Structure 1
Amino acid sequence: MVDIVAIAILAVISGSDTWVAIETYAQAKREWLETFLALPNGIPSHDTIARVFARLNPQAFEQCFHRWVGSITEAIGAQVIPIDGKTVRQSFDRNSGQKAIHVVSAWASEHRLVLGQLKVDSKSNEITAIPKLLELLDIVGCIITIDAMGCQKEIAAQIIAKNADYVLALKANQSKLEGAVNSWFEKAQSNNFEGVDHSYHHTIESAHGRIEIRKYWSVPVEQLGEIPNQEKWSGLRSVGMVMCERRLWNKTTIEVRFYISSLEHDAVVLAHAVRSHWGIENSVHWVLDMTFHEDASRIRKDNAPLNFSVLRRLSLNLLDKDKTVRGSVAMKRYRAGLDNNYLLQVIAAI
């Protein structure tokens, strides 16, 4: 089993996205693999590899992943940790009644590491999975960012109890609170925030024919007066508004978002936390789909989809962590498949 897991890790880092590809990689690299793996029966078939990962306990496999990541973050620390969910779209199986798996991941944005992941139970949603994932992580002194699904009083209380801070997106799932915050900011903005204790920050970026202007306001929660259920939000200290204006050659769009936070009002800190949260979409979910072809994966039997998702995130961590070669994750995977010495360099972090 150790040989099979080792082969799978090496193959996925090197560009393999299916069981057949893993076997093909191993056959091509057999002479090299035999220098450090036992392989008493030669290279296992793709069916054998698939059966092992279908039966491998995903909780135990994830715990190994968490322990490895923990050993890294213990040394380098982690500051902003976005938490977000992603569905592996092709992992459903109509014949067995299996729904597509949905995985919630935590991402250390400062160090580009997936800290952990947890499968959302088929009869549940992210609201129940996020607290379980938070329990697995050491988040002392970190800022946890979560989208609107995780904007829950219990989750905020759990983060505060673990000596961390939060920045939570506020939308219609907290309709009364969102309505009160929206109304207050509309009034304050119409008066140009005159007489209001607030912090402001803005950025302007241009790329690929578009201009993006982002404006951030952060105010102490006391400025809003009485807001719905304020006392039930553990550690609530500030409220923020973010206005994103995107200018293309033929149209301009404006999007407004609201946030609640346990941090002191500081628009620069709010901007950093919000941009870091967007990073989990660009640096994790997009890369998993475009480079590791996760959404197109037809791996679906038993525990195999979740275990393969661990392989992908492990590989992403290792490739992102390697700074000896400049280039995209896709090019690093390509080089790892060609250059055994580079592959050994990449896996040295394990």
Structure 2
Amino acid sequence: MNGLSLWDHLSVIRDPCQQWKIELKLADILFLTIAAVIGGAEGWEDIEDFGHDHLDWLRQHGDFENGVPVHDTIARVMGMLSATKLQKSFASWMQACYDVTEGEVIAVDGKTLRCSYDKGKRKGAIHMVSAFNAANQVVLGQVKTSEKSNEITVIPELLELLSIRGCLVTIDAMGCQRAIAKKVLDKGADYLLAVKGNQPSLEAAFNDYFRLDMFQQEDANGYSIQEVGHGRKETRLSLVMEDLSILGDLEYEWPALKTLGIVGSIREERSQPVKELDITVRYYISSAQLSPKEMLEATRSHWSIESQLHWRLDVGMREDDCRIRREQAGENMAAIRHMAFNALNSDTSFKAGIKRKQKRASRNTEYLSQVLSGLGLS
């Protein structure tokens, strides 16, 4: 990593508390919260307990003149803290730390924090939309939307925070919108968008053109690979077309459109007789000129946001079990979990999963300092 530290970027956030009431600095509360989440804390009481257990170590890095804040104070401050400013600081820090290179895949997708749903107050669950660098496996930024359907409105906001020139931005069918495609192009990147029923005319054009036997034609512009593992065999195939005339007039409705893609997967369970092939076919449009191999690799990279980020946040950091939802605290904690995820995932000195790394950070302050050094906080 290089450039300004996360601490430099967080320092511009204004303390939401009344100045005459402040006994603990915002910097100390943020440092404690980030360090505690890296150490496996999942709630306010956990963060306070972590502080008491590591007070001498905390004082090496912060003030903490008045000791550790009680959990109610931590919750109140995190609820009042501007989520928008925290997200901008996070994205700005990531731009300083990671130089994305031309052609890298940036996967954009949403995730619902299931236990943030508040039935009593009739508040829907928090839904965060994140941008994930598939090559480096780091979160580049995130924004909140209260409803999954609102991904359409917040994806441009997220893209505005990012430096993605020369990259290939992949988005599932929810983001297959002309305005989003234009926003990606305006940022100097290319788009690769999945096509489904929310664009019925586009999907119908693909359906009218495509036949399964195209995957077997020798003159087709295609590519395939086969993988065997976990008791099954999977064949992945891709076709690309640069002749956009199959779309009819739709060809001119999508900005800078250059490539149409069809990606299929055939799964066979090795322990069961083959009665009927399990075939999945997906359609894509892109502003980049992609070969069949590049198309297949890019679409696979997109799903790394599910397996390498969302799944690990749930299994390793128990994000779906988190009931924090007070004011802006839920989305602020989601951003801090992403900071912790990036720091833990970037540390290569200890070859282990997220949960095991968290446990080591909690009991070993030397290792915790090492992980924090990746954030520029230690």
Band the TM-score falls in, shorter-chain normalisation: over 0.9
The correspondence for 1:205, drawn from 224, 227, 232, is 227
- C-alpha deviation, 1:309, in angstroms: 0.1
Per the alignment, residue 219 of structure 1 pairs with: 241
Per the alignment, residue 14 of structure 1 pairs with: 39
Per the alignment, residue 279 of structure 2 pairs with: 254
Is 1:337 the counterpart of 2:337? The answer is no
Per the alignment, residue 203 of structure 2 pairs with: 178
Greater displacement, 280-289 / 93-102: 93-102
Per the alignment, residue 264 of structure 2 pairs with: 243
Per the alignment, residue 9 of structure 2 pairs with: none
Whether the 8 Å CA contact 1:79–1:110 is kept in 2: the answer is: yes
What amino acid does structure 2 have at the position aligned with 1:215? L
- C-alpha deviation, 1:161, in angstroms: 2.3
Closer/same/farther in 2, CA of residues 192 and 36 from structure 1, 3 Å limit: closer
Equivalences for 1:46-61 in 2 at 5 Å? 46-61=71-86
What amino acid does structure 1 have at the position aligned with 2:210? F
Whether the 8 Å CA contact 2:118–2:125 is kept in 1: the answer is: yes
Closer/same/farther in 2, CA of residues 255 and 220 from structure 1, 3 Å limit: same
Whether the 8 Å CA contact 2:209–2:246 is kept in 1: the answer is: no
CA–CA separation in structure 1 for the residues paired with 2:113 and 2:247: 42
Per the alignment, residue 61 of structure 2 pairs with: 36
Whether the 8 Å CA contact 2:100–2:167 is kept in 1: the answer is: no
Greater displacement, 230-239 / 35-44: 35-44
Deviations 1:127-147 (A, max 9, x none): 111111111111110000000
Percent identity over paired residues? 38
TM-score, structure 2 as length reference: 0.87
- C-alpha deviation, 1:226, in angstroms: 4.4
What amino acid does structure 1 have at the position aligned with 2:229? A
Per the alignment, residue 162 of structure 1 pairs with: 187
Whether the 8 Å CA contact 1:177–1:227 is kept in 2: the answer is: no
CA–CA separation in structure 2 for the residues paired with 1:241 and 1:203: 15
Per the alignment, residue 100 of structure 1 pairs with: 125
- C-alpha deviation, 1:35, in angstroms: 2.4
Closer/same/farther in 2, CA of residues 32 and 78 from structure 1, 3 Å limit: farther
The correspondence for 1:130, drawn from 132, 141, 155, is 155
What amino acid does structure 2 have at the position aligned with 1:274? T
Is 1:89 the counterpart of 2:123? The answer is no
Whether the 8 Å CA contact 1:221–1:236 is kept in 2: the answer is: no
CA–CA separation in structure 2 for the residues paired with 1:109 and 1:190: 27
Closer/same/farther in 2, CA of residues 139 and 87 from structure 1, 3 Å limit: same
CA–CA separation in structure 2 for the residues paired with 1:92 and 1:323: 36
Is 1:325 the counterpart of 2:350? The answer is yes
Greater displacement, 205-214 / 150-159: 205-214
Equivalences for 1:301-320 in 2 at 5 Å? 301-320=326-345
Greater displacement, 82-91 / 225-234: 225-234
Two-structure CA RMSD over aligned residues (Å): 1.9
Deviations 1:199-244 (A, max 9, x none): 311122222212221111111133x444342101001111111111
List gaps (5 residues or longer) in structure 1: none
Is 1:233 the counterpart of 2:254? The answer is yes
Greater displacement, 138-147 / 113-122: 113-122
List gaps (5 residues or longer) in structure 2: 1-25
- C-alpha deviation, 1:191, in angstroms: 8.1
Closer/same/farther in 2, CA of residues 187 and 207 from structure 1, 3 Å limit: closer
Deviations 1:23-68 (A, max 9, x none): 1111111222222221122111111111111111111111111111
Closer/same/farther in 2, CA of residues 298 and 190 from structure 1, 3 Å limit: closer
What amino acid does structure 2 have at the position aligned with 1:253? D
Number of residue pairs the alignment of both structures matches: 346
Whether the 8 Å CA contact 2:195–2:285 is kept in 1: the answer is: yes
What amino acid does structure 1 have at the position aligned with 2:242? P
TM-score, structure 1 as length reference: 0.94
